[in-house]
């Protein structure tokens, strides 16, 4: 039977050549079909027979449906999140924002966190798992907020995490120690893989002709929101460091760049400038 599982994994991975991680995709689908953790397959594949449902999962993946939508979950930072259509799939590169925040708050913890464009609660709930803080997540998508609230409940964070529907910080008053944001930053004419373009919410991906529309809004809102000693940590596309830095510096903020696991520019940390 183990040969069956291994053979099925190899066959599926061979069909997933369009994916950057074909073998991992196959393993995640097999684990989901079996109802076990992925590492259980490694430890003793001979325990398992290939479930009848595996072929259907492979077919869905062959239509470029994101793995997280098929399995309904995605690991991010130290947490697992329920994910589905209407919610942006968390990317490992976005963990850079948590790494950058750790560096800023070295030796202390933020007491309040604001996540603008929270999606399924990705950055906010990861931050609340890292620090004993309270937080607010904002998103314009009711579907995404449904996932965010469910994720907060599953993680036991309902008392510490609140969610509101809104457009960036337009309805937010007050200051926060840590502000996190992963705004849309893809230019409207940019070509995306079918997995992303055909399945994930376009409102969470595209941001005008130059991909900077939402940064222009955020740059004007952030200075009033950053508490003394606090920071805003914002995800950027790999080529957007200079242009987004300029938008933030024009608002009197001091900006530092952080790179992701692949050493690509990925996050900007903005703090209050002197005298502001």
Quick one: three-class SS letters along 20-73? CCHHHHHHHHHHHHHCCCHHHHHHCHHHCCCCCCHHHHHHHHHCCCCHHHHHCE
Q: Two tokens at 230? A: 């606090």
pLDDT of residue 44: 85
What class does CATH assign to 77-272? alpha beta
pLDDT of residue 208: 83
The mean pLDDT values, 10 residues at a time, for the chain of 276 residues are 82 97 96 94 89 97 97 96 95 97 96 97 98 97 97 98 96 96 90 90 84 96 98 97 98 98 97 74
| 3 state DSSP class of 242 | helix
pLDDT of residue 3: 67
User: By the 8 A CB rule, do 98 and 77 touch?
Assistant: yes
pLDDT of residue 2: 53
Alpha helices in the chain (DSSP H): 2-15, 22-34, 38-43, 54-62, 67-71, 95-104, 122-130, 142-154, 194-197, 213-221, 241-249
In angstroms, the CA 201 to CA 139 distance is: 13
HSE toward the beta carbon, residue 217, CA cutoff 13 A: 15
In angstroms, the CA 252 to CA 261 distance is: 29
pLDDT of residue 29: 97
pLDDT of residue 248: 98
Alpha helices in 137-198 (DSSP H): 142-154, 194-197
């Amino acid at each position: 039977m183990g040969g069956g599982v291994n053979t099925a994994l190899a066959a599926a991975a061979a069909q997933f050549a369009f994916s950057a991680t074909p073998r991992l995709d196959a393993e995640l689908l097999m684990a989901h079909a079996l109802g076990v953790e992925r590492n259980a397959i490694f430890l003793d594949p001979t325990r398992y027979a290939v479930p009848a449902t595996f072929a259907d999962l492979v077919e869905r993946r062959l239509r470029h449906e994101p793995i997280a939508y098929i399995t309904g979950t995605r690991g991010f930072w130290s947490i697992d999140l329920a994910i589905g259509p209407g919610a942006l799939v968390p990317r490992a590169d976005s963990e850079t924002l948590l790494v950058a925040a750790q560096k800023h708050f070295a030796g202390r913890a933020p007491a309040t966190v604001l996540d603008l464009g929270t999606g399924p609660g990705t950055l906010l709930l990861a931050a609340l798992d890292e620090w004993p803080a309270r937080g607010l997540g904002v998103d314009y998508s009711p579907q995404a907020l449904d996932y965010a609230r469910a994720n907060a409940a599953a993680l036991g964070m309902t008392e510490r995490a609140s969610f509101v529907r809104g457009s960036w910080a337009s309805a937010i008053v007050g200051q926060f120690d840590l502000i996190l944001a992963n705004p849309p930053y893809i230019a409207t004419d940019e070509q995306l893989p079918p997995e992303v373009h055909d399945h994930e919410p376009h409102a969470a991906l595209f941001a005008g002709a130059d991909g900077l529309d939402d940064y222009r809004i955020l740059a004007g809102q952030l200075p009033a929101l950053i508490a003394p000693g606090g920071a805003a940590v914002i995800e950027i596309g790999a080529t957007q460091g200079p242009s987004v830095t300029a938008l933030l510096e024009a608002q009197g903020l001091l900006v530092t760049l952080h790179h992701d696991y692949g050493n690509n520019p990925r996050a900007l940390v903005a703090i209050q400038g002197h005298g502001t």
